Chain A
Amino acid sequence: MDKFLQLLLSGVALGGIYALVALGFVVIYKSSGAFNFAQGGFVTLGTYLVYQFGTDWGLPFWLALVLVMLSMAAVGMFLERLAIRPLVGKPTFTVVLITLGLLLIIEQVVRAVWTMPGLVLSVPWGNGRSRLGEVTLRHADLWTMVAAAVLLAAFFVFFRYSRTGLGMRATALDQEAAAAQGVSVGRSFAVSWAVAAAVAPVAGVMLVSRGGGALSPAIGFVALAAFPAMILGGLDSAGGAVLGGVLIGLAEVMSQGYLDVSWLGSNVEVVVPYVVMVAVLLWRPEGLLGTRRVERV
């Protein structure tokens, strides 16, 4: 039972990281209907900037994180204006390809700027752990769950109740019809990129601190691990991103803890999330909480 509780806690925390990454994807998908591959690059760049502001330059961690979130929002808006805005009204496929290019460019910039190997990010909670009976709670996991919960609540309120959020949802469904209502399609894009980029360093910091703080330009590849989470949850649902993240995190950790399929080779737990994703999509093609395409029959 203790093992189960330990794995449960670990799986939920890992899912929280997937959820934080997936939220960045969701916010852009909700406004533009496009899948943003550059989100992985935002995670990498944002995490290195937190290292630069906090660990290297000595700013207090929380101040550094806030400054980086603001800086990343500006980076997101800049890239949107430069590479995405000219594509308003163009096929979504073109936008997706541009984001793939941005991912590669951002990754290369990070490699070029932070050339020193062995950089380590300092976080206030360090490697702290608390005991809850026989279960160990890593403080990094606790902060991950808190961050995912707070951001999910903020996303929900924003998209459900704000004018900007409604405009972004309308834009994702039909750009021209949204513009005809007075929605500024360009502004919807800019806000979505700003929000997605601002969320990215939070995901990156949680991911890195969970692994002891070691930085690597490959952090952005966590975005690949978040793929099944967001597709499982529903590409346009913030709640789905969190639910999908937690389910995938649990599937990964539980399979690692319980599934004895060594005859299949090592790292089977990496494949399990995709198996879960395929199974769910066969049942609900729009994902668990994704918007069902409405069609009168």
Chain B
Amino acid sequence: MSGDRSGAPLLEVRGLSVRYGPALSVLDGVDMAVPAGAIVALLGPNGAGKTTLLRALTGLLPFHHGRVTGGEVVFDGSSVGRASATELVRRGMAQVMEGRRIFAELTVEENLRAGAITVRDRRRVAERTGEMLDTFPQLAPRRGDQAGYLSGGEQQMLAIGRALMSSPRLLLLDEPSLGLAPRIVEQIAERIAAVGAAGTTVLLVEQNAAMALSIAEFAYVLQAGRVAMGGTAAVLRRDADVQKLYLGNG
């Protein structure tokens, strides 16, 4: 995994607006930038539009009858607002979906191979599978088991490993700590930090602001479909509103 730490935006979102159906406006002119090689956290309450933003970035809005009604998404210098999910994966995006969404009836190894479906080189896929089983050693002895029988933490590790199979330049994670025990959340956070340290750019959507801000370099707060706040994670950690609303202090 090689990364770019130039600091130039790998992903830029300019004035993005999204609707579901004819009337439900969920995002309204969102602007944000994700610098290459950085971990960026996206915080916000339930219903703020975080998952919708990820769907818009990864081409999955059509599965929810959603559409981009305005604005632009630029990935690696190219506008990708109309690109399909498949095309975006080929360009170097991968995501860990909310609720993990592993293929429960496929084996652990088949799940990993599914993450490399855009990779034609079989030898490369085999190598990458080996690397993921080394990175997440708890999966190695379960490689032939159906993934649905893994624990919640193991499933999340598998979901992250699956997303990394295509060696993405941008990894998007949607609530990876959801429903997991604090000890497992720590492990997940360590893995995400390691992915970022290895050079992969990360956009981390989280309600667990303490976890997200502990590993992120930059952060945005999304409220009611708009970016309410943005800056370095260090600044946001000290912000009184963030402390009160998201970190449970004061």
Q: A residues within 8 Å of B by Cβ?
A: 88-89, 163, 166-167, 169-170, 173-184, 291-296
Q: Quick check: A182 and B118 within 8 Å, CB to CB? A: yes
Q: Quick check: B59 and A179 within 8 Å, CB to CB? A: yes
* Closest 10 pairs (CB-CB, A-B): A294-B148, A182-B89, A182-B118, A177-B101, A179-B85, A294-B104, A176-B63, A89-B63, A291-B105, A184-B86
Which chain B residues lie closer than 8 Å to A296 at the CB level?
148-151
Question: How far is B64's CA from A30's CA once the two chains are assembled, in angstroms?
Answer: 22
Q: Quick check: B89 and A166 within 8 Å, CB to CB? A: no
- CB B128 to nearest CB in A, in angstroms, measures 13
Q: Quick check: B85 and A173 within 8 Å, CB to CB? A: no
Which among B84, B106, B117, B146 has the highest number of chain A CB atoms within 10 Å? B117
Which chain A residues lie closer than 8 Å to B89 at the CB level?
180-182
Question: How far is B86's CA from A167's CA once the two chains are assembled, in angstroms?
Answer: 12
Which among A178, A180, A295 has the highest number of chain B CB atoms within 10 Å? A180
Query: What are 28 A-B interface contacts by the 8 Å CB criterion?
Result: A88-B62, A89-B63, A163-B120, A169-B106, A173-B104, A175-B63, A176-B63, A176-B97, A176-B101, A177-B102, A179-B63, A179-B84, A180-B58, A180-B95, A180-B97, A181-B94, A181-B114, A182-B86, A182-B117, A182-B118, A183-B114, A183-B117, A184-B86, A293-B105, A294-B147, A294-B148, A295-B148, A296-B148
B58, B85, B146: the one within 8 Å of A294 (CB): B146
B63, B117, B150: the one within 8 Å of A167 (CB): B117
- CB B138 to nearest CB in A, in angstroms, measures 16
Which chain A residues lie closer than 8 Å to B31 at the CB level?
none
Which chain B residues lie closer than 8 Å to A291 at the CB level?
105
Q: Does B226 contact A (CB under 8 A)?
A: no
| Nearest B residue to A293, CB-CB | B105
Q: Quick check: A294 and B149 within 8 Å, CB to CB? A: yes
| Nearest A residue to B65, CB-CB | A89
Tell whether A167 pairs with B114 under 8 Å between CB atoms, given A176-B60, A182-B86, A291-B105: yes
- CB A46 to nearest CB in B, in angstroms, measures 31
For the complex with contacts A180-B89, A181-B118, A293-B105, 11 further pairs of A-B residues with Cβ separation under 8 Å are: A173-B103, A173-B106, A178-B103, A179-B86, A181-B114, A181-B115, A182-B89, A182-B90, A182-B117, A296-B149, A296-B151
Q: Does B162 contact A (CB under 8 A)?
A: yes
Q: Quick check: B105 and A173 within 8 Å, CB to CB? A: yes
Q: Does B207 contact A (CB under 8 A)?
A: no
Q: Quick check: A166 and B166 within 8 Å, CB to CB? A: no
- CB B99 to nearest CB in A, in angstroms, measures 9
Size band of the interface chain B makes with A: 35 or more
Question: How far is B97's CA from A181's CA once the two chains are assembled, in angstroms?
Answer: 10
Q: Quick check: B114 and A166 within 8 Å, CB to CB? A: yes
Question: How far is B113's CA from A295's CA once the two chains are assembled, in angstroms?
Answer: 22
Which chain B residues lie closer than 8 Å to A170 at the CB level?
103, 106, 114, 117
Q: Does B76 contact A (CB under 8 A)?
A: no
Question: How far is B53's CA from A282's CA once the two chains are assembled, in angstroms?
Answer: 45
Q: Does B28 contact A (CB under 8 A)?
A: no
B86, B97, B102, B120: the one within 8 Å of A183 (CB): B86
- Which chain B residues in 73-110 approach chain A with CB under 8 Å? 84-86, 89-90, 94-95, 97, 101-106, 110
Which chain A residues lie closer than 8 Å to B162 at the CB level?
181
Tell whether A177 pairs with B103 under 8 Å between CB atoms, given A182-B117, A294-B146: yes
- CB B95 to nearest CB in A, in angstroms, measures 6
Q: Quick check: B106 and A181 within 8 Å, CB to CB? A: no
Q: Quick check: B110 and A182 within 8 Å, CB to CB? A: no
Which among A175, A178, A182, A183 has the highest number of chain B CB atoms within 10 Å? A182
Q: Quick check: B104 and A180 within 8 Å, CB to CB? A: no
Which among B64, B104, B146, B166 has the highest number of chain A CB atoms within 10 Å? B104
Q: Quick check: B62 and A89 within 8 Å, CB to CB? A: yes
- CB B103 to nearest CB in A, in angstroms, measures 5
- CB B53 to nearest CB in A, in angstroms, measures 15
- Which chain B residues in 149-167 approach chain A with CB under 8 Å? 149-151, 162, 166
Question: How far is B151's CA from A88's CA once the two chains are assembled, in angstroms?
Answer: 31
Which chain A residues lie closer than 8 Å to B147 at the CB level?
294
Question: How far is B111's CA from A178's CA once the two chains are assembled, in angstroms?
Answer: 10
- CB A156 to nearest CB in B, in angstroms, measures 15
Question: How far is B115's CA from A293's CA once the two chains are assembled, in angstroms?
Answer: 21
Which chain A residues lie closer than 8 Å to B90 at the CB level?
182
A167, A169, A180, A292: the one within 8 Å of B60 (CB): A180
B97, B110, B113: the one within 8 Å of A177 (CB): B97
Interface readout for B115-128 with A: 1 if CB under 8 Å, 0 if not?
A: 10110100000000
- Which chain B residues in 12-59 approach chain A with CB under 8 Å? 58-59
Tell whether A166 pairs with B110 under 8 Å between CB atoms, given A179-B63, A184-B86: yes
Question: How far is B114's CA from A180's CA once the two chains are assembled, in angstroms?
Answer: 10
Which chain A residues lie closer than 8 Å to B97 at the CB level?
176-177, 180
